[in-house]
Structure 1
Amino acid sequence: MKLGDGVEAAIHCAAMLAGVEGDATMPGTVMAEAFGLSPSYLLKHLKALTAARVLESVPGPNGGYRLAKLPEQITLLDIVVAIEGREPAFRCGEIRQKGSYALDASAYVKPCGINVAMLKAERAYRTALAGTRLSDIVTDFTENTDQRIVAASCAFVALNQRPQNSKAKTINERKMP
């Protein structure tokens, strides 16, 4: 199974936004620069994360993106589904019923064993993603990554986040879906 590159970019951006202070935002173009991505490519994925209510898009001169929920409330499955969609990675085309030796449809009463096995693997994969929270990724990063990388990442976020006015609601005060 191969997920699109947008999944990696989306998870990295969400993890970066977990480090933004309070109700501040981070411009999409800045995140694109941080990861060496085309801004238009990344903005497409940030828009999908916003539509899925993983991120919030804030307009205006200090606008940008921020998490729409606490990192503990966002799973990797939330991010993958926002980018890749809800359809399973494997889609059985029932090719066993086509071709030169295909039989009458009545011979294919039982589900395709390949489809059953692939969907079972998909469920296991999705269960693992649903059990991994963005906060787990951030904690692992801060505790197990070379501290030079952690320091550089934190400095980048601190330098590039855009503070919001003091009347803006914090993530804990915003209405959660």
Structure 2
Amino acid sequence: MMMSEGVEWALHCCLNLAFLGPGTAVPGARLAAFHELPPVYLHKQMQALVRAGIVSSTPGRRGGFQLARDPAHITLMDVVAAVEGQEPAFRCTEIRSQGPSGSGGTTQAICTIEAAMRKAEMAWRRALAEQTLADLMATVERRYPATPRRISSWFAAG
């Protein structure tokens, strides 16, 4: 399964907002400029995050986007689902009912391939649901201690 680049963009923006702390609203254009992203396309991702209740948007001159929840309560799966949707990655179309070995109609037993794909997708979704923005923040702070300060400084200078 290939996720859109919007997932990466949304996760990085959420992480940046998390490092900036609660109450700090950042205009979408400024978020886009930080990673040199196209503002119009990033805005679509940010609006998906607003609809999902992950970020909030404040209009006006001092407005922008900020996290709507504590980073410990935002999972990677929340962000992926907001941007990509909830549809399953694999869709069984019951091709086993066609061709020389098929029954010509639907079969009663669950397709073995569909069951295996669902199991794998559930493991993937669980792994994403077990990781929060707070977990990512802790990893960044441990591996790259200067990064949170660099992010805060860059946005403060804007």
Corresponding residue number in structure 2 for 1:154 = 152
Specify the alignment match of 1:53 in structure 2.
53
Q: Give yes or no for contact 2:19–2:148 (8 Å, CA) kept in 1.
A: no
Report the RMSD for the aligned CA atoms in angstroms.
Answer: 1.6
The residue matched to 2:23 in structure 1 has which SS?
A: coil
Q: d(CA) in 2 for partners of 1:47 and 1:109?
A: 42
SS in 1 for 2:82: helix
Q: Distance in 2 between matches of 1:67 and 1:118?
A: 33
4+ residue segments displaced more than 6 Å? none
Structure 2 CA distance for aligned equivalents of residues 102 and 110 of structure 1: 13
| Residue matched to 1:30 | 30
1:62 and 2:56 equivalent? no
Q: Distance in 2 between matches of 1:91 and 1:119?
A: 9
Q: How is 1:26-175 mapped onto 2 (pairs within 5 angstroms)?
A: 26-99=26-99, 101-105=101-105, 108-145=107-144, 147=145, 149-160=147-158
Uncovered stretches (5+) of structure 2, i.e. residues with no partner: none
Q: Are the aligned partners of 2:71 and 2:134 in contact in 1 as well (CA < 8 Å)?
A: yes
1:19–1:157 contact (8 Å) kept in structure 2: no
C-alpha separation in 1, matches of 2:89 and 2:121: 7
For 1:48, the aligned partner's letter is A
User: Aligned residues: percent identity?
Assistant: 39
Q: Is the 8 A contact 2:54 2:69 kept in 1?
A: yes
Alignment coverage as a number of residue pairs: 158
Residue 21 to residue 151, structure 1, CA distance change in 2 (3 Å): closer
Q: Secondary structure at the match of 1:18?
A: helix
Q: Post-superposition shift, 1:35?
A: 1.3
The CA deviation at 1:99 is 3.9
- Unaligned segments of structure 1, at least 5 residues: 161-177
The alignment's TM-score, normalised by the length of structure 2, stands at 0.92
